[in-house]
Amino acid sequence: MDQHLEGLNKEQKEAAEHKNGPLLILAGAGAGKTKTITHRIVNLIRSGVAPEKILAVTFTNKAAKEMRERIIAEIKKNAKGQDKIPFVSTFHSLGVFIIKENARILGLTKYFTILDEGDATALIKESLKELAFDPKQYDPKKIKNIISREKGKFIHLADYKERANDPMSGFMAGIVAQVWNLYEQKKMKENSLDFDDLLLKSTKLLKDNEEIRKIYQEKWEFVHIDEYQDTNEVQYLMSKLLSENNKNICVVGDADQNIYSWRGANLKNILSFEKDYPDAKIVLLEQNYRSTKNILEAANTVIKKNKFRPDKNLFTNNVTGEKISLYEALDENDEADFVATKILEVMDGSLSSNFSSLYPSKSDGLRHEQKIERDSALSDIAVLYRANFQSRTLEEAMLRYNIPYQVLGVKFFERKEIKDTLAYLRAAQNRDSLSDIKRIINFPTRGIGKASLVKIFAGDMENLPIKMRIKIENFYNILEEIKEKITTLKTSEVIKFVVKYSGIEYELENGGEEDKERLENIKELATLALKYDNLVNGTGIERLLEDASLASDQDSLMINAEAKIEVPTTGGAVKLMTVHASKGLEFKYVFVVGLEDGLFPHQRQNEEAGADTEEERRLFYVAVTRARNKLFLSFTNFRTIFGSRQINTPSEFISDIPVDLLEREEEKGGIKTIYI
């Protein structure tokens, strides 16, 4: 047996040693799927497959980064002499790569703009107004979501128009078709694409153009797809098209962790893999390396109630561990108080147990080590909730008890000052990006009004006063200078140049305290850009813009590590996040709050009770399996939602857990505080 496979269990080795033909790896939570894929890829390279012939695709930049780093480390250790690595990316980054290589065919330039959610919604709002529809009556975000959902199903505008013409489709479909049509025209004029286009257009290109399809099939002979249960119709089709030539496709997933159906993820993709590939090899990874036996037993018992899942039973050789704590709170304030006090107990316990014997004297060294241990303990705690609104009372409790915290989902790249700076870079490379130009032409203030802007975009600059034309020409000269610097300076130096040369630095330096804070954030962008400095001839800026556009909620954790700006402390912080955002992460201590019927499991407005119970149960399973050592569950008797105080019943998921695995948390002194 190869030495590099020694650390794998029997099933992991079986998957790693498989080479030709389709492979389905059903990997339970904490079963070491990333480790297995990494070793499989290294094994392929050791068997003679060129690294550049291997493709590995996952969903978040964080997961792609982790996989890439592991593969590089294993190649250095076990496939010496190799200086090339496989193509590891997210689905959206893969779409960008394919589109950039074929931009001309799609009527784009290489420097097309990727619209974020806010910019795309703004363009739809603009389209509504031009079509004389009131955005207050027809919500632009809702229309954006409808278009996004259709694109995720591989439905194109022409298909939707045809369907909208059917009287049975309803009045709204006709409005969406008109808005969608104008929205596409505006994007084409601006040389821009939205997130969904990155998948839709690249997949359509592969499907419709046999010559291009063959290029990528030959480029990547071995295809790996992570989190296969989360693929939508477009991602499924893209995976199938890339691997249809030789069928060397390896997919990894867990039907029990399919929690994104609202985003188009189709559970049938993983359940039908054997039907799609009748000669597929199936490997089941059931050994969990993360959680204690008690936590795992609770997870197994809960998820077995679901009917639409391949049968599997996770096991572990870890210790039995502590029982799962259950707290019955009076209301959300009481619940948040419980979480905060328990976090303080966890921190105090961690410090006393780890340092009493090692450091008998209270020296500076001890205090330094205690701070490191405290920060480490904080970073290993997560509080998970079903809906974003629940974070408010938790944040208040963290502030009240002076506990550093981070709300995952507050994205660095969504800050106004960061978007402004990046808009200068995009506009310099893509003069057709009217959204970016509109954003920055009067920031810093240049005295260019809306009426002048309309004439600029209409190509009617000649009819503007001479002074206004000079102002506009000066602005475009700034963009031209930035474009030149992009190709000659390092990425971080370009950011510094943009901030100074555009006048942003002067404007913010001479503003109030908030402006000075914004300037500090832009400086952190320059710090973050250092990691792109090794990329020359403008490719660093290109990669930075791409990563900024495709950053997900989880990727803010990566930004924290490099720029340290989301956490209101220089040390560690407790993570507050939705259960959806926690997928793929793990923590020593996990609190799952708000376990009340109607909240978790969640019941949407106008939705029948129990309509999505299986997905909600999968979501709870994901929450439980984030915990390594200790799990805390809580529910409230009363909760105020949208200003209305509601009486709650405990979630059915609590009663699904065997009673012998639970222990009730009691109020100290038997007294419960009532908040008025």
Q: Which of 11, 12, 13, 33 is catalytic?
A: 33
370 is catalytic: no
In order of 185, 242, 414, 448, 486, the CA distances from 438 in angstroms are 18, 39, 17, 10, 21
CA-nearest of 70, 50, 66 to 58 is 66
Residues near 29 by beta carbon (within 8 Å), at least 6 away in sequence? 254, 256, 257, 288, 290, 291, 299, 314, 621, 622, 625
Q: Which of 74, 190, 196, 227 is catalytic?
A: 227
Q: Which residues pair with 329 in a beta bridge?
A: 636
Residue type at position 476: Y
Calpha distance 160→138 (Å, rounded):
18
- The token duo for 346 is 């966890």
In order of 327, 331, 334, 548, 647, the CA distances from 337 in angstroms are 11, 10, 5, 36, 19
Q: In degrees rounded to 5, what are phi and psi of residue 113?
A: -90, 140
Calpha distance 386→589 (Å, rounded):
18
Q: In degrees rounded to 5, what are phi and psi of residue 421?
A: -65, -45
436 is catalytic: no
Calpha distance 630→349 (Å, rounded):
13
33 is catalytic: yes
Angle between helices 416-429 and 539-550 (to 10 degrees): 130
Q: What is the CA radius of gyration of the chain?
A: 27
Question: What is the SS3 assignment for 465-520?
Answer: CHHHHHHHHHHHHHHHHHHHHHHHCCHHHHHHHHHHHCCHHHHHHCCCHHHHHHHH
- The token duo for 584 is 């793929």
- The token duo for 573 is 């912080």
Q: Taken in order 10, 14, 15, 16, is the CA torsion positive or negative? A: positive
555 is catalytic: no
Q: Which residues pair with 284 in a beta bridge?
A: 26
Q: Which of 68, 312, 518, 626 is catalytic?
A: 626
Cβ pair 140, 111 in contact under 8 A: no
Composition of the chain by helix, strand, coil, percent to 5: 55, 15, 30
Residues near 87 by beta carbon (within 8 Å), at least 6 away in sequence? 52, 54, 55, 56, 94, 97, 220
Calpha distance 556→563 (Å, rounded):
10
CA-nearest of 271, 244, 232 to 154 is 232
Calpha distance 255→309 (Å, rounded):
6
Residue type at position 587: F
Token pair 């592991």 in the structure block, residue = 70
Q: Which of 113, 257, 390, 491 is catalytic?
A: 257
Q: Which of 226, 254, 297, 596 is catalytic?
A: 226
Q: Report the catalytic residues.
A: 33-34, 226-227, 257, 626
